[in-house]
Amino acid sequence: MGKPTGFIEYLRELPLDRSPVERVRDWKEFHHHMDEKGLRTQAARCMDCGVPFCHTGKLMNGGASGCPVNNLIPEWNDLVYRGLWREALDRLHKTNNFPEFTGRVCPAPCEGSCVLGINAPPVTIKNLENSIIEKGWEEGWVLPEPPEVRTGKKVAVVGSGPAGLAAAAQLNKAGHTVTVLERADRPGGLLTYGIPNMKLDKREVVDRRIKLMEQEGIKFVCNANVGENVEANLLLKDFDAVVLCTGATQPRDLKVDGRNLPGVHFAMDYLTESTQALLDKKPKDAKIHAKGLDVIVIGGGDTGTDCVGTAMRQGCRTLTQFEIMARPPDERATDNPWPEWPRVYKMDYGQEEAAAKFGSDPRVYLTTIKKFVADEKTGKLAAVVTVDVKWDRTPTGGHAPVEVPGSEKTIPAQLVLLAMGFLGPEAGVLKEMGLELDHRGNVKAEYEDYSTNKKGIFAAGDCRRGQSLVVWAINEGRGAARECDRYLMGRTDLP
């Protein structure tokens, strides 16, 4: 513990973000950096608790509590406080292959379970994590580390999102020859096309890590769609093992009248088109574009926020975001105690930007869409009809939304983005490989074991556990690599 009284002496501080009015004019990352003195002061707030809940990584009441990759947070906080950045980076890399990703996009359940957070603002763990890895890149400490010896075993990793990249990195470290198959035109999966550039820069952050992995000996093959132009059942003939990390990419739909009207799109299609056009240096040519349109986003999670931020940068005319749930409380409710993930009201970057332009938080709670309305002349989307809902208890003890009579409203809209979550993995390749699915439609494979009903095939990430956090995907990718290595070699030294 660097400074025993640090948590008493210093207040929580974060670097300022670029102003919302300024940052919506470009696609650059919106966070500023804190100077070293400020970072060391923030690290001094860590109490090095006797029981540090920040790195427990458990599920509590349906949400993550603590860091799912079990980052050694108190240790690297102490090292940062003492100015030992290289040592802090070493500790960070012991548990997390990609802290530059989690340091940007993770919602930081570690901070939600920080012991200091019981009665004070928690330690700025996420910002310190990102600062450590960026210091490492700047100083040239992050270098390729190819294995000294190859085992002669070949592994195919299907999918190059966070789970696939983590599995590939660990399997390569064990000495196996790893090929990553990605169906998109660029590697990175969710990191490349599911998260906008202003939140996670592709060239400066994602491509930087992919290039390092290639220098370590990992091969990436893009436009390789297993089940279509790559025959799934031939994989085990060409490889000794396969790790499936295909994600949960089947979106939840909203089946109401007018759903098929031009102008109603799934959020991920919109985000992918926007990012692809940006990376092709033609951002105005995205097939789905919000410029000059009345935009409605349905859904309040991270994907919905990313749609808001993207539409703001494309120059939407108006923006409204509908959530079927009630507005969260400003402080923890009695049924949401520490160290659970705090379900409290906050404005994320997208809502901040919309509020700066339009004057208020764009979210409207306890509301759903009743139907989509077409323009009589063009046949395209022109408006939506909304209805207020209330949550009533069901006979089985649960809750269900019930429409409030007489609460319908008609709102102009030429672009609607459905961001209501995901139902699970696409079933095609899974059926072709003869894999068993669980009751939710995910690949059936036990957590910490990851083996499927087919010998030599493992599954990790969202395709196994369902839609989840990037940090859980990294956790599972690392775990699947460990069990795959054990299968190939009869033992493993991977954590």
Six-digit token pair at 219?
A: 């091969």
Q: Which of 139, 169, 200 is the last residue of a domain?
A: 139
Calculate mean pLDDT across residues 345-350. Answer: 96
Q: Does 148 reside within a domain?
A: no
Six-digit token pair at 169?
A: 């990195």
- Give me the helices (H) in 96-156, please: 99-105, 109-112, 125-139
| C-beta separation of 478 from 69 below 8 A | yes
Together in a domain, 26 and 41: yes
**Confidence at residue 233, expressed as pLDDT on a 0 to 100 scale:** 86
Together in a domain, 322 and 208: no
- Transcribe 245-275 into DSSP letters: -----EEPP---BTTTSTTEEEHHHHHHHHH
Residue of 228, 250, 226, 252 lying closest to 238 (CA atoms): 226
**Confidence at residue 330, expressed as pLDDT on a 0 to 100 scale:** 96
What CATH number is attached to the domain comprising 91? 1.10.1060.10
- Give me the helices (H) in 153-296, please: 162-173, 207-215, 235-238, 267-279
* pLDDT tens digits, one per residue of 5-45: 999 999 999 999 999 999 999 999 999 999 999 999 999 99
* pLDDT tens digits, one per residue of 272-305: 999 999 999 999 999 999 999 999 999 999 999 9
Together in a domain, 32 and 127: yes
Together in a domain, 460 and 434: yes
Q: Does 1 reside within a domain?
A: no
Containing H/E element for 390?
Answer: strand 381-393
CA torsion sign for 237, 238, 242, 244 is negative
Q: Does 455 reside within a domain?
A: yes
Q: Does 14 reside within a domain?
A: yes
- 61 DSSP β-pair partners: none
- Give me the helices (H) in 50-98, please: 73-81, 85-95
Residue 275 backbone phi and psi in degrees, to 5: -70, -40
Separation CA 312–CA 289 (nearest Å): 11
| C-beta separation of 480 from 460 below 8 A | yes
Q: How many CA atoms, within 13 angstroms, populate the side-chain half-sphere of residue 237? A: 6
Calculate mean pLDDT across residues 322-340. Answer: 95
Six-digit token pair at 417?
A: 């983005």
Six-digit token pair at 321?
A: 């975001």
Q: Is the pLDDT of residue 204 over 80?
A: yes
Q: Provide the residue range defining the domain that includes 134.
A: 6-139
* pLDDT tens digits, one per residue of 232-243: 988 999 999 999
Together in a domain, 353 and 324: yes
Separation CA 73–CA 51 (nearest Å): 12
Q: Is the pLDDT of residue 171 over 80?
A: yes
Separation CA 286–CA 274 (nearest Å): 5
Q: How many CA atoms, within 13 angstroms, populate the side-chain half-sphere of residue 41? A: 13
Together in a domain, 266 and 415: yes
What CATH number is attached to the domain comprising 320? 3.50.50.60
b/e code 367-404 from CB counts within 10 Å (16+ = b): bbbbbbbbeeeeeebbbbbbbbbeeeeeeeeeeebeee
- Please tell me the total count of domains within the chain: 3
**Confidence at residue 91, expressed as pLDDT on a 0 to 100 scale:** 97
Residue of 342, 332, 453 lying closest to 107 (CA atoms): 342
Together in a domain, 394 and 445: no
Calculate mean pLDDT across residues 53-77. Answer: 93
Separation CA 472–CA 447 (nearest Å): 11
Together in a domain, 202 and 333: no
Separation CA 54–CA 387 (nearest Å): 41
Six-digit token pair at 8?
A: 């008493």
| C-beta separation of 327 from 352 below 8 A | no
Q: Which of 115, 139, 163 is the last residue of a domain?
A: 139
Pairing mode of beta strands 367-374, 381-393: antiparallel
3-state helix, strand, coil in the chain (%, to 5): 35, 20, 45
CA-CA distances (angstroms) from residue 12 to 75, 117, 129, 320, 411?
19, 11, 15, 32, 41
Stated length of the chain = 495
Together in a domain, 175 and 308: no
Together in a domain, 189 and 230: yes
Mean pLDDT, the chain, rounded, equals 96
Q: Which of 420, 450, 471 is the last residue of a domain?
A: 420
- 64 DSSP β-pair partners: 59
| C-beta separation of 354 from 312 below 8 A | yes
In a 3-state reduction of DSSP, which class is residue 471? helix
Six-digit token pair at 107?
A: 């919602």
Q: Does 494 reside within a domain?
A: no
Residue 428: pLDDT band with limits 50, 70, 90: confident
Residue 399 backbone phi and psi in degrees, to 5: -130, 145
**Confidence at residue 102, expressed as pLDDT on a 0 to 100 scale:** 98
Calculate mean pLDDT across residues 465-490. Answer: 97
User: Could you count the other beta carbons within 10 Å of the beta carbon of residue 118?
Assistant: 12
Residue of 392, 318, 328 lying closest to 354 (CA atoms): 318
Separation CA 80–CA 70 (nearest Å): 18
Six-digit token pair at 487?
A: 């299968």
**Confidence at residue 397, expressed as pLDDT on a 0 to 100 scale:** 85
Separation CA 22–CA 30 (nearest Å): 9
> How much of the chain, in percent, has pLDDT values that exceed 70?
100
- Phi-psi group of 189: left, alpha or beta (phi > 0 → left; psi -120 to 50 → alpha; rest → beta): left
Together in a domain, 41 and 104: yes
| C-beta separation of 73 from 54 below 8 A | yes
Residue 403 backbone phi and psi in degrees, to 5: -65, 145
Q: Does 149 reside within a domain?
A: no
* pLDDT tens digits, one per residue of 367-424: 999 999 999 999 999 999 999 999 999 998 889 999 999 999 999 999 999 999 999 9
Kindly give, in sequence order, each residue whose CB lies less than 8 Å from that of residue 287, ignoring residues fewer than 6 positions away: 273, 277
Helix 162-173 to helix 207-215 angle, to the nearest 10 degrees?
20
